Amino acid sequence: SGRVSGKVAMVTGGASGLGAATSKLLVEEGARVVIADINLAGAEQVAAEINKAHPDMALAVELDVTSEQQWQDALETAVGFLGGLNILVNNAGIGGSAPVEDETFENWKKIQAVDLDSVFLGCKYALGHMKAHQPGSIVNISSIAGLIAGHNMGAYNAAKAGVWLFSKSVALHCAKRGYDIRSNSVHPTFIRTPILEGLFAKTTNGEEKLAKQVPLGRIGEPNDVAYAVLYLASDESRFVTGAEIKIDGGISA
Ligand code: NAD
């Protein structure tokens, strides 16, 4: 039996990259998963792939994580399919920042909405369902950029740092209320997903240059992150809350 057998999970941004890899791994380890994404067709494709190998283990739902109403509706649909909710992975996110003097207020607000407001809304509305189905685990995908400033990354730095500390706030809230619900954050850098592939396409030897900055000498693969999420989602981490795990090949060491 798997490391999250019998558990029920929702993963945001599950149509692509880290979210898709995490959804697949959670199912391989025994969980049923709702894949929530603004890109419904993409989420349906990932769910279909999963269900081909593991029938009825995955469902796709449409969710714009910046919408308070859509969060409530998607959670109702998810709980209807899953029969409850133990695990929430707040993974949906976007990159893109500009030097502070050139940054538009509009882009700043968009990044805060997708990368940070989303995590607040997800935690706020999922907790009601998770309290009814304990134990629970919330895993928030921040970034190394939530811990260390990057050049021209102000909006993204601010949003991801917000995710980092807000995760701890939720951890303390749940613990003080006596819920068996944990909250932790994961901080990747340079993982091979569409965000990076886009960057590589624009530069010569992009991947090699990036790999040289990493003590382990390579960029990360989606499963390098998914295994950390799996650990935090499972009961193996039952004494871990308000913590962060860096997945960065030693870059921040
Ligand atoms: P990705 O672009 O491959 O996937 C992101 C997914 O989020 C997409 O399916 C997209 O449709 C979805 N999404 C975007 N806006 C949304 C919205 N408003 N509502 C719902 N879904 C939305 O990116 P990824 O690399 O897999 O990134 C996943 C998470 O990991 C993000 O939070 C990102 O900031 C973080 N991260 C990634 C890296 C990396 O190197 N790839 C490094 C650090 C942190």
Q: How many CB atoms lie within 10 A of CB 75?
A: 24
By alpha-carbon position, which residue is closest to atom 34 of ligand 1?
Answer: 93
Query: What does the pLDDT read at residue 198?
Result: 84
Q: Is the CB of 89 under 6 A from ligand 1?
A: no
Q: What is the pTM of this model?
A: 0.98
By alpha-carbon position, which residue is closest to atom 24 of ligand 1?
Answer: 17
Query: What does the pLDDT read at residue 22?
Result: 98
Q: How many CB atoms lie within 10 A of CB 13?
A: 29
By alpha-carbon position, which residue is closest to atom 19 of ligand 1?
Answer: 64
Which amino acid appears at position 50 of this protein?
I
Q: Is the CB of 97 under 6 A from ligand 1?
A: no
Query: What does the pLDDT read at residue 1?
Result: 78
Query: What does the pLDDT read at residue 196?
Result: 84
CATH number for region 8-189+223-247: 3.40.50.720
Return d(Cα 66, Cα 118) in angstroms, integer: 5
Q: Is the CB of 23 under 6 A from ligand 1?
A: no
Say if residues 231 and 243 touch (Cβ distance below 8 Å): no
Element spanning 140, H or E = strand 136-141
Query: What does the pLDDT read at residue 66?
Result: 98
> Which residues are part of the catalytic machinery?
156
CA of 70 to the centre of ligand 1 (A): 18
Q: Is the CB of 189 under 6 A from ligand 1?
A: yes
How many residues would you count in the chain?
Answer: 253
Query: What does the pLDDT read at residue 195?
Result: 78
Return d(Cα 197, Cα 18) in angstroms, integer: 13
pLDDT tens, N- to C-terminus, the chain (253 residues): 799 999 999 999 999 999 999 999 999 999 999 999 999 999 999 999 999 999 999 999 999 999 999 999 999 999 999 999 999 999 999 999 999 999 999 999 999 999 999 999 999 999 999 999 999 999 999 999 999 999 999 999 999 999 999 999 999 999 999 999 999 999 999 999 987 888 888 888 989 999 999 999 999 999 999 999 999 999 999 999 999 999 999 999 9
By alpha-carbon position, which residue is closest to atom 10 of ligand 1?
Answer: 13
Tokens of 214: 């990493």
Query: What does the pLDDT read at residue 217?
Result: 97
DSSP for residue 148: S
Structural domain boundaries of the chain? 8-189+223-247
Q: Is the CB of 249 under 6 A from ligand 1?
A: no
Say if residues 51 and 44 touch (Cβ distance below 8 Å): no
**Of the residues 18, 147, 229, 248, which should be mutated to test ligand 1's pocket, given the most ligand atoms within 8 Å of the CB?**
18
CA of 240 to the centre of ligand 1 (A): 25
Say if residues 206 and 200 touch (Cβ distance below 8 Å): yes
The atom of ligand 1 lying closest to the CA of 114 is 18
Query: What does the pLDDT read at residue 194?
Result: 86
Sign, CA torsion 131/132/135/140: negative
CA of 222 to the centre of ligand 1 (A): 12
Q: Is the CB of 184 under 6 A from ligand 1?
A: no
